[in-house]
């Protein structure tokens, strides 16, 4: 069976369809407005089995992609912030990069999130509860001529950052998760990996400091649409997508609204995690 690309760890578990190996744990919490799943890959056997790096993967799923009201927004942002705060405990200088192409709406999540971040490195003096944060959008190689990994490596050295957060759009293998899921992980990422356009990885191995990633799936492989339409026999109809059967992706019409909401959720979660658990109102006063 052909493998449908996905960046989500939770979908790796579903594709496995077997009992989890020793060293892999999955914990699920049902909240009022969302479901939080945490997957812990604790050894190399589990990592090899799932085809992912060792680490912690947090997935937050909700029912709506852009019509998220205030109570739901607060619950999702606070849940992400709590996990981020645990992961980032002890880091004083954090670099945040928004990966992607801001000119293509499904790939604009990172750039949009950066616009809503509290950049605190220029503050002098800086409140004691605030982490020193630097942030910028990192255009894709085809636009800038600079690999995101090269940019990250240079900035880490210049800024002496002791941790990096990457914000990027993702791909999902499930239509029901499109623009309704946020994944946070402590393992870095490979830009473009979910759409078969992998670039140089941005991880602790390449940068020498811990790298965290957070993103939302904004595209789905069109073969998933076939799966939903015709069921398990979808592979028989793959030739109908020729010559794009392995490269055609779909995205919702409301993508502008969905990326706006996803970027806001991610940015406010990061702001809360790095700056003393500020309220949404305090973050808005700082930004505007």
* DSSP collapsed to 3 states, 250-262: ECCCCHHHHHHHH
Residue 165 belongs to some domain of the structure: yes
Residue 25 lies in a domain: yes
Is position 87 within any domain? yes
Residue 240 lies in a domain: no
β-sheet bridge partners, residue 41: 24, 55
pLDDT tens for each residue of the chain, 288 residues long: 456 778 999 998 887 666 777 889 999 999 999 999 999 999 998 888 888 899 999 999 998 888 898 899 999 999 999 999 999 999 999 999 999 999 999 999 999 999 999 999 999 899 999 999 999 998 877 777 888 999 999 999 999 999 999 999 999 989 999 999 999 999 988 775 545 555 689 999 999 999 999 999 999 988 888 777 777 666 666 667 777 767 788 999 999 999 999 999 999 999 999 999 899 999 999 998
Place of tokens 């950066």: 114
**Containing domain of residue 59, as a range?**
9-216+256-275
Domain-located, residue 195:
yes
Which burial class, exposed, middle or buried, applies to 23 when counting CB atoms under 10 A from its CB (0-12, 13-18, 19+)? Answer: middle
81-127: per-residue pLDDT in tens?
999 999 999 999 999 999 999 999 999 999 999 999 999 999 989 99
Domain count, the chain: 1
- H or E element in which residue 64 lies: none
State both tokens at 7.
């960046």
Which pTM was predicted? 0.91
In a domain, 23, yes or no: yes
178 within domain boundaries: yes
Six token digits for residue 55: 């680490």
Structure token pair of residue 165: 């957060």
The H or E element that residue 96 is part of is strand 93-99
Identify the CATH number of the domain in which residue 125 sits. Answer: 3.40.50.1450
Tell whether 154 is covered by a domain: yes
């Amino acid at each position: 069976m052909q493998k449908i690309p996905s960046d989500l760890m939770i979908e790796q578990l579903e594709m496995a369809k077997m009992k989890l190996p020793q060293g892999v744990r999955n914990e699920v919490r049902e909240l009022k407005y969302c479901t939080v799943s945490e997957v812990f890959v604790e050894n190399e056997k589990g990592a090899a089995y799932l085809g992912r790096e060792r680490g912690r993967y947090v997935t937050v799923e909700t029912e709506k992609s852009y019509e998220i009201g205030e109570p739901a927004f607060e619950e999702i942002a606070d849940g992400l912030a709590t996990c981020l705060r645990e992961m980032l405990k002890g880091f004083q200088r954090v670099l945040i990069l928004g990966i992607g192409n801001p000119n293509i709406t499904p790939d604009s999540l990172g750039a949009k999130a950066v616009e809503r971040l509290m950049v605190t490195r220029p503050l002098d003096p800086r409140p004691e509860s605030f982490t020193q944060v630097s942030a910028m959008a990192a255009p894709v190689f085809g636009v800038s001529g600079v690999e995101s990994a090269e940019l990250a490596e240079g900035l880490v050295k210049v800024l002496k950052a002791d941790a990096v957060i990457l914000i990027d759009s993702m791909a999902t293998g499930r239509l029901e998760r499109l623009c309704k899921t946020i994944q946070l992980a402590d393992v870095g990422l490979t830009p473009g990996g979910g759409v078969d356009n992998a670039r140089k990885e941005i991880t602790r191995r390449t940068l020498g400091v811990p790298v965290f990633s957070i993103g939302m799936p904004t595209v789905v492989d069109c073969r998933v649409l076939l799966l939903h339409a015709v069921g398990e026999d979808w592979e028989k109809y793959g030739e109908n997508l020729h010559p794009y059967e392995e490269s055609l992706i779909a995205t919702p019409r409301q993508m502008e609204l969905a990326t706006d909401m996803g970027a806001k959720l991610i940015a406010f979660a990061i702001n809360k995690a790095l700056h003393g658990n500020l309220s949404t109102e305090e973050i808005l006063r700082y930004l505007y």
